[in-house]
A and B are shown apart, each in its own frame.
Chain A
Amino acid sequence: MHAFANPARFLRLARWLMPLLLVSGLVLSMGALLYGLLVVPPDRLMGETVRILFIHVPSAWLGMAGWSTIAIASLVELVWRHPLAAIAARAAAVPGAAFTAICLATGSIWARPTWGTWWVWDGRLTSFLILLFLYFGYIALSGAAQRDMASGGGGNRITAIFGLVGAINIPIINRSVVWWNSLHQPPSITAGKSAIDGTFLWPLLIAAVGFSLIFGGVVLARMRTLLAEIQTEARLRRKALG
């Protein structure tokens, strides 16, 4: 793991990996979304609105994967003091929040014709809305911690602890439809079997892979930006002192 503790080595890797992830992710997700929009047959009950599945479900996965990234990076930061972990955690927050927001918006649009309501306060919807608010809190906290760096504050550690504590929401989101009666349907895809017909399942899985690659590319891009910002600040400070 400490092979990448050196930011220079990480930056060399990120320089070619980032465009690769972004381009392959865009190609895969555009292909899957177009196929889902134009080729896939309408659902037996939902009709055409089933097509929103190909955006909604991958976004939901990435909203949760985003916070899992934050939690794992926070753990690495707190225990091993890995210099890139704090940056990785901070870089995952904005794309994670964006996918969470997309998931909530598309779900709401789908719910209106399907359930007959834009929003209900059931376990799944409420816990996912809390995830969005956790992201907002994390982004605000990490921003404050970064501004606090000059005065040598422990803000990064507080941010990391918040990232770890917030992870408790992830299993709650995952289990919410199993533990509690909810309007949201139970999971369609569980280990080894799927209640989604093959014609819907394949474009869904490809879209999920494509979205994940885009997510990875955006995280790498943001890590490069954050590293450059830190470097600039350090240089300016040296200049001011020198």
Chain B
Amino acid sequence: MAVAQSADSDEVSAGSDLFRQRIRSAWLFLAPMLIVLALVAGWPLLRSIYFSFTNASLTNLDAAQWVGFENYFSMTTLKSGRVLYDGLLVDPLWWGSVWNTVRFTIVSVTLETIFGMVVALVLNAEFRGRGFVRAAILVPWAIPTIVSAKMWAWMLNDQFGIINDILLNLGLISQKIAWTANPDTAMIAVLIVDIWKTTPFMALLILAGLQMIPGDIYEAAKIDGVHPVKVFWKVTLPLVRPALMVAVIFRMLDALRIFDLIYVLTANNAQTKTMSVFARENLFDFDKFAYGSAASTMLFLILTLITIVYIIVGKVNFEGGR
């Protein structure tokens, strides 16, 4: 009895020794990655936030002085008694870019989800040439954003663009449209390119979710004579929801920080200026480094807030996407 006991405890301590050793090497293994991430993400984030409370300028970062919330909001009372408000929070250009970003995000993610669902349902069906179609939809995803922006800029060209040619031939428009330059259509142009480029990603994530639904559920529904549309709403959609939620949040965060497509496709168009474009412009083009930092800090806050709300309200489970 006693012997057995000591053998038992021996095993436990040996086991926990091994356990401790494993934990130690685990942290050792993690250290390089964590150090790099802290250096490339953590520290720069803190510095950016810090800069937003200073008067730093691009040419003289070291001379930055603490100014409190001045970049966000400040009030000056003139001798005449008039009060002047200044700062990001009362800057109509900033709120315009916030509105542009939100508008862009809502429309693009909604349409991408719908189109992505359609493509995913098609790819989930059995038909000849399915592999070919799946390969074809990967093409937009594989093309660099800058390249797709340029490709579409050429196709949407007002004089020599093929889109205007097609629409004219079909009789859908009566005169050529300057898609990317016209304030009314610039956002539409951006949306077209973004939806074209990112629907495949959405479709593939939804498809992965669809393929996890066991086939016998559909067979049971078929035997019971349930209408396919009803099957979609009552069976497919609830079961694919976890994967869908993950796909939507990934796309949403991506859309909220959009920069490159707009920078190349509709540069300097106030109708499509997003938060990222606004922030970078102030940081590096207008020599308002601190103001740009304030804008990027606000963008970070807004994104964090949206993510938290989305995860709580949507009860997102990140394992569901696999």
B and A form one assembly: no
Residues in chain A within 8 A of chain B (CB atoms): none
